[in-house]
Amino acid sequence: MTAAMNAREAILDSVRSALRRGPLDDARRAELDARRPQHTRPAQDEELVARFIRKFESRAGTTTRVASRADVPAAVEAYRAAKDLPARAAVGAALNDLAFPGLEIHHNPAGIDETMAVSQALCGIAEPGSLMMASGPASPITHNFVPDDHVVVLDANAIVGHFEEAWEILRARPEGMPRATNIISGPSRTADVEQTIQLGAHGPRRVHVIIVG
């Protein structure tokens, strides 16, 4: 157990002690979860993948679709070649079931000289056209911010309609809540300088999503 988890459990144990009870059983947890209010969500009359693509690309992001996970390495290589990037990348360990022939890869955090990172998204949110990224050993947070080019793998069946559904997916992760969660809605940008949009101000200049399925 990490130091952060130890601290969390210590706090929860103190609360339980004050309430004179132990951890809740599964039935009680389910009962309390069912009490959470269901917020009003805007109706959507567009297919989820189509809406995600339209919204994400409206903010200078790019996308491509592949039939299966086995097609991801070829799609990554096609993107790298089109951008004339060096044949190396920081690849999240969540993708270590895939081979990337001809690409020099590592699963470590992205360093200052990194030009491209390849990551697995936890889910996509169709309403705003955004990606939800959960940090962890298999998905270093530096991959989201350091390289100029960020390629994100997103399963089509992991695209949900609204933010509320995305938070449910995050809460249900078997490994628990991540230390950090990032919502990515396209390349980093700012208009601080003369009110002119500049990409890459606080992160990647380009974000490309490979939608699988």
pLDDT in tens, 91-120: 999 999 999 999 999 999 999 999 999 999
The most distant pair of C-alpha atoms in the chain lies apart, rounded to whole Å, by 63
Cα gap 78→82, rounded to integer Å: 6
Contact predicate 184/207, CB 8 Å: yes
Distance CA 85, CA 205 (A): 13
In whole angstroms, give the CA distance from residue 49 to residue 42. 17
Query: pLDDT (tens digit, 9 = 90+) per residue, 31-72?
Result: 777 776 666 677 777 899 999 999 999 999 999 999 999 999
Amino acid identity of 103? Answer: L
Q: At 197, is the pLDDT very low, low, confident or very high (cuts 50, 70, 90)? A: low
- Torsions phi, psi for 123 (to 5 deg): -165, 170
Between these two residues, 95 and 8, which has the higher pLDDT value? 95
**Collapsed DSSP state (helix, strand, coil) of residue 82:** helix
- Bigger pLDDT: 199 or 156? 156
Close Cβ partners of 213 (under 8 Å, ≥ 6 residues apart): 67, 68, 155, 156, 157
Q: 114: which 2 tokens?
A: 């990194």
